[in-house]
């Protein structure tokens, strides 16, 4: 019995250490992503995302069994696609989708279900067949799953509000946006929170105009 307890404890310590390692590895990606996403523009932004994606490749190589690494490479690839635009971005969205699906396979609750959030965003922003894999039905399913795992989170609530705006469900969109607006601050990600709050304010203005019509 004592041996079983010792083995369980050893496994727990090992697992926690591995998680700490990957979180340390992705922290620079998180911080740089916020800088690039919210402080750079145009060609400079696109070039910075290209460099950051290469950095994310190295993080994944060092953490091939960790969902967190794939989530952040997927987020960066998706953001790079948004900065690049056009048909040239489609390969990046495909890479992002593959990374996020791999993350879900490894651990779908990692980073409070962030893979579902980011995958949901891809599904409603990427064109549908025959150009891309976009699907409003799948977007809704992914975003709802993200909200199940992180009901008060700033990102899943913001992106679901944005999705609902596109679906013309303005009242529901405003409800989710209010949750995003009042989401708990992330002390380790102040720039990301500040940038998202600016996006929330812009989306709120759009929704107010829609609701007045």
Checking if the pLDDT of 160 tops 90, the result is yes
**From the CB of residue 185, how many other CB atoms can be counted at a distance below 10 Å?**
11
CATH class, domain 2-150, is: mainly alpha
pLDDT at 12: 41
Mean pLDDT of 178-190: 96
Burial of 98: CB neighbours in 10 Å, binned 0-12, 13-18, 19+: middle
Each residue of 133-157: pLDDT tens digit?
999 999 999 999 999 999 999 999 9
Each residue of 90-126: pLDDT tens digit?
999 999 999 999 999 999 999 999 999 999 999 999 9
pTM: 0.90
pLDDT at 162: 98
Q: How confident is the model at residue 2 (pLDDT cuts 50, 70, 90)?
A: low
pLDDT at 213: 77
CA 4 to chain centre: 38
Checking if the pLDDT of 76 tops 90, the result is yes
| 206's tokens | 């759009």
78 touches 92 (CB < 8 A):
yes
pLDDT at 111: 97
Mean pLDDT of 159-184: 97
Q: How confident is the model at residue 5 (pLDDT cuts 50, 70, 90)?
A: low
């Amino acid at each position: 019995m004592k041996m079983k307890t010792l083995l369980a404890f050893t496994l727990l310590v090992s697992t926690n250490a591995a998680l700490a390692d990957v979180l340390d590895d992705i922290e620079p990606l998180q911080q740089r992503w916020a800088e690039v996403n919210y402080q750079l523009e145009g060609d400079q932004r696109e070039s910075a995302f290209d460099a950051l994606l290469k950095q994310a490749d190295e993080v994944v190589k060092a953490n091939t069994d960790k969902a967190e690494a794939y989530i952040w490479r997927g987020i960066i690839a998706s953001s790079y696609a948004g900065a690049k635009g056009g048909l040239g971005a489609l390969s990046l969205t495909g890479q992002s989708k593959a990374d996020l699906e791999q993350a879900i396979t490894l651990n779908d609750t990692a980073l409070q279900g962030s893979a579902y959030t980011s995958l949901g965003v891809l599904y409603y922003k990427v064109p549908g067949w025959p150009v891309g894999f976009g699907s409003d039905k799948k977007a809704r399913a992914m975003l709802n799953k993200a909200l199940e795992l992180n009901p008060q989170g700033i990102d899943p609530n913001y992106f679901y509000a944005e999705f609902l705006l596109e679906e013309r469900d303005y009242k529901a969109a405003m409800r989710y946006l209010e949750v995003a607006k009042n989401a708990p601050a992330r002390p380790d990600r102040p720039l990301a929170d500040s940038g998202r709050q600016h996006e929330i304010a812009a989306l709120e203005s759009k929704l107010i105009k829609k609701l007045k019509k």
